[in-house]
Chain A
């Protein structure tokens, strides 16, 4: 297992991937805490998993399928009712195209 250096730079990189804007102070604190947790997790490295399949889910082989048919769903009004900002009958977001 690689031994990543969990410092402020790596935490800020992961925070960007997570859409979390952290202050430098927060990033430093999380770097310390996450480094300890990741060191603890690295004990898994010592487990022999040769020829062991990964379990993504305990029921993957038992999930039933349903008919691919139209069903009732939330009304337009209900779907918009909890939005922090609504414009032109849709969810309003800040500009994301220049």
Chain B
């Protein structure tokens, strides 16, 4: 059953061919069978998930109208608040935290008759590209458990890749949906900034954060996106645009669509096997009738530096709220009982991991007196130039195609001691984040070693439809279509 897509599961539940309860039970069984080897989930409230599924079945039995995600289990990144379910952002500072409210995306999933399956592992506060910054141990890649599934939405990607859930939610600040989707052979989509409400998402960098779906196929991601998107007055940056059915776009012809291929994305540091896999995908789209044109995006090179100034500055401000007063950890150090500032300092030192502290320090530094103009304002200006690169490219093309990550999944431990090398891994996903445009990763031909590779497709702001049309057209021809990691397939047969 879990080999079925989001749309197939919803159709079968709606038709009464399978019960929502049996689908959720199968997901729970798959988690029990293999997640000990993957560490994709931090928390699976089984009884609550089964109760939600039974409520969907009861609704059907009463003859009521069923939602578009009827009975579909959805895994949720642990940065997204679910009422009464432990939500930690994979940080010790939030251990045991139970939100008193649902994020807007959770309300929307519930209204669509989805089942909230559990909370997934991630890099602490979404800061990382490998899952190794989780306070609860790294997630492992279902294609090779010695390798990273990427990050920061590591568990949400691994859960879908290993058929523990047909879809999941992640959040993407600089590539945290697209890079793990690429490294696990799943479809992962970051919407236009403002398309999906951030209310209830534990903030990392507010001008960049977006919630988006992972799914086993493009149509599934499109359906989840249709459910998630829409105006939310509780998020001041939520766009007031009419709802859209993104699934319609998945069947649209791509004949005549113009694909831009930026030379800057096929440069030094790109693994030749990855380059060839992505170029082959672009050639196939050309054979489908797309027009492929070179474009130039000269400021791509500066995206990493720009991002790590702006994102850390915003993070240093957002993470000030974790101070041991209203929620989460408070130090038990006796010195802290007598002095508020000591309590703040020791609580935060004990609660945050090394990468989070590194980014708070960097962000505070670039915002501090004497350095603000030179680093922070300068980076904001370069951000404008990166946006301009996209604006100019989109004058002559409809989508921009590139690799999603310069290499296939690297080994756990390989980059952990070199923060800068880890940051450079995000080079292909950061520019679209800085520009606020939608972008996604769709699997293309794996490497000779069998590791997934992703085609990155970016489109104009609010034009997810064109991006999905191209993604679906490629998926129909992709040799990666319906590949399943042996570990997940073996468990499914057992």
Whether B329 is near chain A, meaning CB under 8 Å from some CB there, is yes
Q: Interface readout for B300-339 with A: 1 if CB under 8 Å, 0 if not?
A: 0010111011000000100010011111111000001111
Query: In the complex, which of the residues A19, A41, A94 contacts B338, with contact meaning CB atoms closer than 8 Å?
Result: A94
Quote the shortest CB–CB distance from A17 to chain B (angstroms). 5
A29-85, CB < 8 A from B: 30, 33-34, 36-38, 40-41, 43-45, 47, 49, 52-59, 62-64, 66, 74, 78-79, 81-85
Residues facing B in A6-45 (CB within 8 A) are 10-11, 14-15, 17-22, 26, 30, 33-34, 36-38, 40-41, 43-45
| A-B interface contact total, Cβ < 8 Å | 174
The A contact surface, by secondary structure, is loop
Q: How many residues of B contact A (CB 8 A)?
A: 74
> In the complex the two chains form, is B326's CB within 8 Å of A83's CB?
yes
Q: Across the interface, do A82 and B378 meet the contact criterion of CB distance under 8 Å?
A: no
Q: Which of A47, A66, A85, A94 contacts B299 (CB 8 A)?
A: A47
The answer to whether A1 has its CB under 8 Å from any CB of chain B is yes
Contact of B252 with A by CB under 8 A: no
On whether A18 and B316 interact (CB within 8 A), knowing A41-B305, A63-B237, the answer reads: yes
Assembly CA distance A21 to B299 (angstroms) = 38
Tell me whether A94 and B240 are in contact (CB under 8 A): no
A83 (CB) vs chain B CBs: closest residue: B326
Whether A20 contacts B436 by the Cβ 8 Å rule is no
Does B45 belong to the interface (CB within 8 Å)? no
Instruction: Determine which of A44, A66, A74, A94 lies in contact with B101 in the assembled complex, contact meaning CB atoms within 8 Å.
Output: A74
Q: Of A20, A41, A57, which one neighbours B349 at CB under 8 angstroms?
A: A20
| B344 and A1 within 8 A (CB) | no
A59→B368 contact, CB < 8 A:
no
Asked whether B362 is an interface residue with its Cβ less than 8 Å from the other chain, the reply is yes
A66 and B233 alpha carbons, distance in the complex (Å): 7
A37 to chain B, nearest CB (A): 6
The complex places the Cα of A35 from the Cα of B134 at a distance, in Å, of 24
Q: Which residues of A contact B237 (CB under 8 A)?
A: 57, 59, 63
Binds A, one of B7-15, B278-286, B382-390: B382-390
Contact: A19 with B344, CB < 8 Å?
A: yes
Residues from chain A with Cβ under 8 Å of B320 in the complex: 19
In the complex, whether B111 has a CB less than 8 A from a CB of chain A is: no
> Is B420 in contact with chain A by the CB < 8 A criterion?
yes
Q: Is the CB of B194 within 8 A of A59?
A: yes
Query: Do the beta carbons of B420 and A36 come within 8 Å of each other?
Result: yes
Of the residues A10, A15, A45, A82, contact of B328 by C-beta under 8 Å: A82
What residues on A are CB-neighbors of B304 within 8 Å?
Answer: 40
Whether B343 lies near A58 (C-beta < 8 A) is no
B348 interface hit (Cβ, 8 Å): yes
Contacts of B199 in A (CB 8 A): none
Q: Which of B123-131, B137-145, B263-271, B353-361 contacts A (4 or more CB under 8 A)?
A: B353-361
Task: Provide the bound-state CA to CA distance between A44 and B323, in Å.
Answer: 33
Min distance, Cβ B140 to any Cβ of chain A, angstroms: 26
Query: Considering the chains assembled together, what is the distance between the CA atoms of A85 and B231 in angstroms?
Result: 37
CB distance from A62 to the nearest CB of B (A): 7
Q: Which residues of chain B (357-396) have a CB below 8 Å from chain A?
A: 357-358, 360-362, 364-365, 368, 370-371, 374-375, 377-385, 387
A62 touching B194 in the complex, CB below 8 Å, given contacts A20-B349, A34-B361, A37-B308? yes
With the chains together, A94 CA to B342 CA distance in Å?
A: 9
Q: Which residues of A contact B62 (CB under 8 A)?
A: none
The residue that B340 contacts in the complex, of A18, A49, A58, A95, with Cβ under 8 A, is: A95
Give min CB distance, B462 to chain A, whole Å.
10
A64 pairs with B330, CB closer than 8 A: no
Scan residues 196-252 of chain B and give those whose CB is less than 8 A from a CB of chain A.
Answer: 207, 231, 233, 236-240
Cβ–Cβ < 8 Å partners of B328 in chain A: 82, 84
5 shortest A-B CB distances, which residue pairs? A21-B345, A58-B436, A54-B380, A84-B330, A49-B381
Q: Which residues of B contact A (CB under 8 A)?
A: 97-98, 100-101, 193-194, 207, 231, 233, 236-240, 299, 302, 304-306, 308-309, 316, 320, 323-330, 336-346, 348-349, 352, 357-358, 360-362, 364-365, 368, 370-371, 374-375, 377-385, 387, 419-420, 423, 434-436, 461
Q: Give A residues with C-beta under 8 Å from B.
A: 1-2, 4, 10-11, 14-15, 17-22, 26, 30, 33-34, 36-38, 40-41, 43-45, 47, 49, 52-59, 62-64, 66, 74, 78-79, 81-85, 91, 93-96
Q: List 9 A-B contacts (CB under 8 A).
A: A17-B368, A37-B308, A41-B379, A44-B375, A47-B382, A59-B239, A82-B100, A83-B327, A94-B339
